[in-house]
Amino acid sequence: MKPGGLRSSHAEHYERMVTYYRRQDPLVPDGAVVFLGDSFIQGMCVSAVHDKAVNFGIGGDTTVGLLCRLPAYRCLKRARAVVVAIGYNDLRERGNEQILSGYHEILSEMPEGVPVLLCSVLPIDERCRREKYNHRIVALNRRAAGLCTPGNDRHFVDAGEPLRGPDGNLVCECHEPDGIHLNARGYDIWIGVLRTQLRQAL
């Protein structure tokens, strides 16, 4: 199940986590809210969003990696909702069109009748990063929102707006020193947005 494009250390971590989650999958209760994504999800206290939440986040994952492991999660058919947050790690290796194609495939693989919340890629603080992704992230999110139609139980969640400062950067008070990952204050804002959007979707 090893996806292409992962460095060896990340590939080992990915394989290990997929093995753990495959064992966990049959134990997920009916009606759970399943969270899928990369380190942004893996680092989230998902029970703060919903009391029957399950975290299947894998740090370093991409849209390609998530597509590779989706078949392992049979619990998705029994889920009350699915939350997806993926795409940041794709920015290094893939253009926006490729990422959007991955989103389309992921949404297509989700069970019918189960609400899916696709989260925006969050802004970064370019003031402390070599990468300058924020312009691409804005354009990517605008297109990703167009893939989601509430009538088909596909919802776009833009948590980036309350985390973005006037200059377009992730605000200092909401991130770890790496300028990418959220701290407790940043997660609190994102969790609040997710709670509201999940209530509306259900």
Q: What 3-state DSSP class applies to 111? A: coil
104 vs 11: CA distance, rounded Å: 24
- Residue 10 is predicted with a pLDDT of 75
pLDDT tens figures, 114-135: 999 999 999 999 999 999 999 9
Q: What 3-state DSSP class applies to 23? A: helix
Q: Which residues contact 44 (CB under 8 A, 6 or more apart)?
A: 35, 55, 57, 187, 190, 191
In this predicted model, which residue has the larger pLDDT, 188 or 1?
A: 188
Average predicted confidence (pLDDT) for the chain: 93
* Contact present, 46 and 54 (Cβ < 8 Å): yes
Tokens standing for residue 180: 């990418």
Q: Are strands 33-37 and 154-157 parallel, antiparallel or unpaired?
A: unpaired
- Residue 7 is predicted with a pLDDT of 55
- Residue 153 is predicted with a pLDDT of 93
Average pLDDT over residues 28-42: 97
pTM of the model: 0.92
**Sheet harboring 154-157: ordered strands across?**
53-57, 33-37, 81-85, 116-119, 154-157
pLDDT range class, residue 1, cuts 50, 70, 90 = very low
- Residue 163 is predicted with a pLDDT of 96
Residue at token pair 């802004």 = 123
68 vs 72: CA distance, rounded Å: 9
pLDDT range class, residue 11, cuts 50, 70, 90 = confident
- Residue 6 is predicted with a pLDDT of 54
* Contact present, 165 and 134 (Cβ < 8 Å): no
Q: Which H or E element spans position 104?
A: helix 96-109
* CA angle at 138 for the pair 114 and 89, rounded to the nearest 5°: 70
